[in-house]
Structure 1
């Protein structure tokens, strides 16, 4: 009977983690089709729209500041339930928002919930996946990639629905999609979470102790560079293909979709490889592969554009594999280590994405004199995307340092 109860509890935990990543992916990526309609409904200028989107990073960083401590004090079960519930509430507030201020407040709350959920799910996964950690972390993040890939398509379709004669629109779409956050609460109420039953996970480890560990800073470097490269593809690939190669929006978007297909397949199938050859070595090889693919795509030109998508194979496992490293290196303080790492990564991502835009403009102005507008723009875009590829290579280089640091101390994972 006890064995059956343990199995049932494990399946409930899997349902929460996998379902949580599905919901997370949907909530993060339905905004693409919705934002133009929000802008029209509230007559927002570009600055107001930019501020609205800035709540993404701000809410995320605010959530990073307290989620780990909240999980340590109140338990990851309650923390997860609060995260799911706050996202559902934000959907209701978004539905009834009457002006820009109310919309901004509801958006901010949504990203607080998103940030809590990202860290909360990482902590849950670290506690649950004690065996085959790399494979299971990658599998969990596969569900995020799956929902991320289909979210824009589903959102665009839903906004055109006409229940009871009226168009559902972006308000109804957000209400329905964010209401899905309530579903993982059901198994959360039934399940027992490791570390919430009197085990003092994380209380022996403080941010000060983590900050004194050189390996922790190397892990931050590895994750930051890898994630900057990963996220930048979604923001810049379509733009690059449209402006450098004169591709249509549809053709460029299809190439981005192919990138996500490679991305999801890598998380699904390469996870076991990380357990087999080691987490640090896996990151060294995969991130180098991603960077080399992107550089090759730039150098070859339009005929090599498929290599932009193939780069997704290398960059996809970085984030979940780093989470596996944190789970193994800091087993009794995982939430503290994740808070430290992910908060600094969030700051680095903001800086990294700003740098890409600055590089594109700077190179275009610096080396574009005497060149045609199209030629100078292409040069700037190549430099900007070259920076994305460089981040992947520097992720590999940083992990080489991490590898030798850990090997000298017999602490490789």
Structure 2
């Protein structure tokens, strides 16, 4: 494959569409979470239904994480094209599976179908990240942070479109299952665009860095594993509240929580286009420090908001905080450890996905425990009046949001120390893949 065979602009559109698709899927899951809880899990186990829906949503992140763990190691073998085709297939199969689950009688079988369907969308999500991130790093090696942030701006764009469509479907009284068809359209378009495009080699392969050198690079650089551990917490601060927002904030504020997610996502879409100039002033790590501070404050304020106006104000602070987290963490690794290749970026995504797998059920567990406590015992939930149940659920929603507010604040010392160390050395300069980095 020669450089003249590669249409960089077209491939960037492919990457944008793939990220848009997974953002759309994120919004659809947030849209249907209350429906899954009410139509399926409440009928199976009312006292533990929030934990069950949290586990169901969480399995999406398990599929995402597993695909990144293994797919990032395989993308050099099977190619970016096949990986992106697999992602489209995962979304098509997952959407059709959820449609089938909606038509099934309530019981263990429908639980299994829901879990498998959400797992398939998670596998498709991971395949997108495994291919699109190294693709953009290879297409734009000179401006990774800026380009990766713009690429991931299409994630919140997908959330905006999916969220607004979900609200419209609900407002018109249409069946929630129509959300599944929203996923099918971009998946089919993506499959067509991928099938008709030529793809480059990854940056590591193009530079002639072997698999052995890639693994050695990751093992000998302790700082990579520091950032890897940080990814667990930054992802928890961004993605877990976003997936939980429609359940929790709808009860806290008395409005559809998905509207807040749409608002925050629109904010993120705009702001991510300006990541380059910000990083030039304060560096990627400096941006993460500021982001974690704002995210922690915003999450706590969200749990306290009791009116739509206060909720939007708190969501603005949270949105500013989490806006740059995911793409900037990927860019930090791509700039500091380029010889780690797609595996380094995949391991970061794996950390983020597994984080949510643990955090979402934990939020659901806190929700259920607080719900039972406020009701005076889990056995009394079924006998509560609608007004009493509303107050119980509102209390539980506040508790579940406050439980994650401290997570990004734990990272302030880590990013602060690295930021100060970089500034002491005159600022960090991205490493060139042809020149082995200095072990840190």
TM-score tier by shorter-chain length is 0.7 to 0.9
Matched, 1:73 2:77: yes
User: Per-residue displacement from partner, 1:216-261 (whole Å, max 9, x unpaired)?
Assistant: 12212332222211123324555555555xx3234x5544433333
More deviation in 141-150 or 95-104? 95-104
> Which among 243, 262, 271 is matched to residue 266 of structure 1?
271
User: Per-residue displacement from partner, 1:372-395 (whole Å, max 9, x unpaired)?
Assistant: 999998887656534433222223
Distance 2:306 2:423 in 1: 40
User: Per-residue displacement from partner, 1:173-202 (whole Å, max 9, x unpaired)?
Assistant: 524622422323344332232438962466
Q: CA deviation at 1:59?
A: 1.7
> Which among 8, 11, 20 is matched to residue 10 of structure 1?
8
Distance 2:265 2:32 in 1: 21
What corresponds to 2:120 in structure 1? Answer: 109
What corresponds to 1:329 in structure 2? Answer: 336
User: Per-residue displacement from partner, 1:11-35 (whole Å, max 9, x unpaired)?
Assistant: 1111111111111112232234445
- Give the conservation status (yes or no) of the 8 Å contact 2:233–2:408: yes
What corresponds to 2:60 in structure 1? Answer: 56
Distance 2:53 2:282 in 1: 45
**SS of match in other structure, 1:131:** coil
Instruction: Give the count of matched residue pairs.
Output: 400
**SS of match in other structure, 1:260:** helix
Does the C-alpha gap of structure 1 residues 56 and 131 become closer, same or farther in structure 2, counting only changes over 3 Å? Answer: same
Distance 2:171 2:389 in 1: 39
Does the C-alpha gap of structure 1 residues 208 and 351 become closer, same or farther in structure 2, counting only changes over 3 Å? Answer: farther
Distance 1:320 1:120 in 2: 14
Does the C-alpha gap of structure 1 residues 204 and 255 become closer, same or farther in structure 2, counting only changes over 3 Å? Answer: same
**SS of match in other structure, 2:338:** coil
What corresponds to 2:28 in structure 1? Answer: 30
Matched, 1:385 2:396: no
Distance 2:375 2:209 in 1: 56
What corresponds to 1:400 in structure 2? Answer: 416
> Which among 122, 128, 153 is matched to residue 142 of structure 1?
153
Q: CA deviation at 1:146?
A: 0.9
Q: Which has the higher contact order (CA 8 A, sep 6+)?
A: 2
Does the C-alpha gap of structure 1 residues 204 and 329 become closer, same or farther in structure 2, counting only changes over 3 Å? Answer: farther
Distance 1:273 1:318 in 2: 13
User: Unaligned stretches of 5+ in structure 2?
Assistant: 105-109, 377-387, 431-440
- Give the conservation status (yes or no) of the 8 Å contact 2:159–2:261: no
**SS of match in other structure, 1:311:** helix
The Cα RMSD (Å) is: 4.2
Distance 2:410 2:121 in 1: 33
Distance 1:90 1:366 in 2: 36
**SS of match in other structure, 1:249:** coil
Q: CA deviation at 1:161?
A: 9.8
Q: CA deviation at 1:135?
A: 1.9
- Give the conservation status (yes or no) of the 8 Å contact 1:287–1:315: yes
Q: CA deviation at 1:102?
A: 4.7
More deviation in 11-20 or 265-274? 265-274
Does the C-alpha gap of structure 1 residues 145 and 373 become closer, same or farther in structure 2, counting only changes over 3 Å? Answer: closer
Distance 1:256 1:187 in 2: 29
**SS of match in other structure, 1:190:** coil
Distance 1:395 1:40 in 2: 36
Q: CA deviation at 1:317?
A: 0.4
Distance 2:302 2:178 in 1: 41
- Give the conservation status (yes or no) of the 8 Å contact 1:38–1:170: no
What corresponds to 2:436 in structure 1? Answer: none
Q: CA deviation at 1:318?
A: 1.0
What corresponds to 2:189 in structure 1? Answer: 183
Q: Give TM-score scaled by structure 2 length.
A: 0.74
Distance 2:89 2:393 in 1: 45
**SS of match in other structure, 1:130:** coil
- Give the conservation status (yes or no) of the 8 Å contact 1:215–1:405: no
What corresponds to 1:347 in structure 2? Answer: 354
What corresponds to 2:87 in structure 1? Answer: 83
**SS of match in other structure, 2:152:** helix
Does the C-alpha gap of structure 1 residues 395 and 69 become closer, same or farther in structure 2, counting only changes over 3 Å? Answer: same
Does the C-alpha gap of structure 1 residues 392 and 18 become closer, same or farther in structure 2, counting only changes over 3 Å? Answer: same
More deviation in 184-193 or 292-301? 292-301
- Give the conservation status (yes or no) of the 8 Å contact 2:58–2:357: no
